[in-house]
């Protein structure tokens, strides 16, 4: 009995020893477990600058994959950091976005652009030129202090980054100086028709042609004021917004259009002006644009607003052509006979004219203060 147990114990011990030796030999002959492949993106940003057509340029954007796996669906998010500007520089939102490589706006001053996939230890470098809006002017001249601008770039891939702390970099700071430019603005208005009582929408637009030498207008552009005079026999049918002044209630309005200036030559700033027909006899109105930086050709700054009334009899009085006279200066009083108003007479003429000039000056000051967006004109 004892002999049998002793033999069994010896057999088990031998089996354990053999298993241990086999396991040791297997471990000795097997390679170590390989680490899982990873993606590790790093980014470097070159200088940021301003190009023609109010664009923001990054001359060199370098992205490196220091990991061991391929990085796919790589993107770069560019954010403008505009110190001291009020309102700030933003990427273009007033027009259709036309940035290269299918970039997408993700915020007023932030855009995301797709990049090429990066193999392990791979690298790519490229420049970016992105359209932007410049909105910081003082009327008729440069801003008193240059404004610092930087661009922060953050890269990402669809894979988790092994070391995300180096996925962002900021460009060096450049100074952005704003100046007012002399622009050859052109105004246009399309004719409309309707019957008495109708509200018709008058399509108007303002644009500038490509300057001499070709190419887009240099950054930035001039501030724009427009003057809108309803034709006799009509009245404006849109509520007065904060960025417009009622110079003659229901008839003449002046609006500050600073944020609607197109940044590309030849691209019109177009909108519609609702007009109510109140008489069968309708004269001509005008839409006039006035650049604050000066205009080398003011003859094309005014467009005639022409309204045809359906079923109206032949006119008994001739139509006075619009745009025949220069626009009244903001510092002077408007012509009292331009819209059929009674002229000022008597011994207090000078006092009345002085008071009128003071009111116009005050209104112009308010107009410059109310520098807000123009787009919606509602009844």
**Range of weakest confidence among 58-67, 213-222, 227-236, 251-260:** 213-222
- Position 149 scores a pLDDT of 76
Higher pLDDT, 149 or 66: 66
pLDDT per position as a tens digit, 33-46: 667 999 999 999 98
Residue 45 host element (H or E): strand 41-45
Higher pLDDT, 376 or 319: 319
**Range of weakest confidence among 103-117, 132-146, 238-252:** 132-146
Rounded CA-CA distance 226/230 in Å is: 13
pLDDT band at residue 235 under the 50/70/90 scheme: very high
Q: What percent of the chain has pLDDT over 90?
A: 26
Q: Tell me the average pLDDT of the chain.
A: 70
Q: Are 227 and 300 a contacting pair, CB within 8 Å?
A: no
**Range of weakest confidence among 121-135, 136-150, 203-217:** 136-150
3-class secondary structure per residue, 25-41: HHHHHCCCCCCCCCECE
pLDDT per position as a tens digit, 173-198: 776 655 555 677 889 999 999 999 99
Other beta carbons less than 10 A from residue 43's beta carbon: 17
pLDDT per position as a tens digit, 323-354: 876 655 543 333 332 333 222 323 333 333 34
Higher pLDDT, 121 or 137: 121
pTM, full prediction = 0.45
Rounded CA-CA distance 200/305 in Å is: 12
pLDDT per position as a tens digit, 47-80: 887 654 456 778 788 999 999 999 999 999 998 8
- Position 26 scores a pLDDT of 58
pLDDT per position as a tens digit, 282-299: 999 999 987 656 678 888
Q: Where do the domains of the chain lie, and which CATH numbers do they carry?
A: 41-176 (2.60.40.10), 186-323+348-369 (2.60.40.10)
- Position 277 scores a pLDDT of 95
- Position 133 scores a pLDDT of 56
- Strand ranges inside 208-367, DSSP E: 224-229, 234-236, 244-248, 252-256, 269-277, 284-291, 302-309
**Range of weakest confidence among 150-159, 240-249, 261-270, 336-345:** 336-345
- Position 23 scores a pLDDT of 58
- Position 216 scores a pLDDT of 37
Residue 28 has pLDDT above 70, yes or no: no
């Amino acid at each position: 009995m004892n002999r049998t147990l002793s033999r069994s114990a010896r057999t088990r011990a031998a089996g354990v020893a053999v298993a241990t030796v086999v396991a040791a030999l297997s471990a000795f002959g097997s390679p170590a477990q390989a680490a899982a492949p990873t993606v590790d993106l790093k980014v470097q940003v070159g200088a940021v600058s301003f190009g023609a057509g109010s664009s923001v340029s990054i001359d060199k954007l370098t992205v490196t994959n220091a990991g061991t796996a391929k990085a796919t669906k790589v993107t770069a998010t560019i954010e403008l950091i505009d110190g001291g500007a009020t309102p700030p520089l933003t990427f273009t939102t007033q027009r259709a976005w036309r940035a290269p490589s299918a970039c997408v706006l993700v915020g007023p001053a932030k855009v995301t652009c797709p990049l090429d996939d990066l193999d392990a230890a791979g690298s790519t470098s490229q420049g970016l030129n992105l359209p932007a809006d410049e909105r910081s002017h003082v009327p008729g001249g440069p801003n008193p202090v240059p404004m610092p601008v930087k661009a922060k770039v953050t890269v990402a891939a669809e894979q988790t980054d092994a070391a995300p702390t180096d996925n962002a970099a900021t460009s060096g700071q450049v100074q952005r100086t704003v100046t007012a430019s002399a622009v050859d603005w052109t105004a246009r208005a399309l004719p409309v028709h309707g019957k008495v009582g109708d509200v018709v929408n008058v399509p108007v637009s303002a644009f500038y042609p490509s300057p001499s030498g070709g190419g887009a207008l240099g950054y930035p552009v001039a501030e724009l004021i427009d003057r809108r005079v309803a034709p006799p026999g009509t009245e404006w049918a849109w509520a007065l917004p904060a960025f417009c002044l009622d110079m003659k209630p229901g008839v003449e309005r002046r609006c500050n259009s600073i944020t609607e200036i197109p940044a590309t030559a030849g691209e019109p700033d177009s909108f519609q002006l609702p007009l109510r027909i109140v008489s069968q006899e309708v004269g001509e109105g005008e839409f006039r644009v006035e650049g604050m930086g000066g205009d080398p050709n003011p003859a094309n700054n005014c467009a005639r607003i022409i309204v045809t009334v359906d079923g109206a009899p032949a006119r008994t009085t001739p139509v006075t052509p619009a745009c025949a006279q220069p626009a009244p200066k903001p510092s002077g009083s408007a012509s009292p006979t331009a819209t059929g108003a009674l002229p000022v007479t008597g011994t207090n003429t000078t006092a009345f004219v002085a008071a009128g000039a003071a009111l116009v000056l005050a209104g112009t000051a308010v107009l410059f203060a109310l520098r807000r967006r123009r787009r919606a004109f509602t009844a």
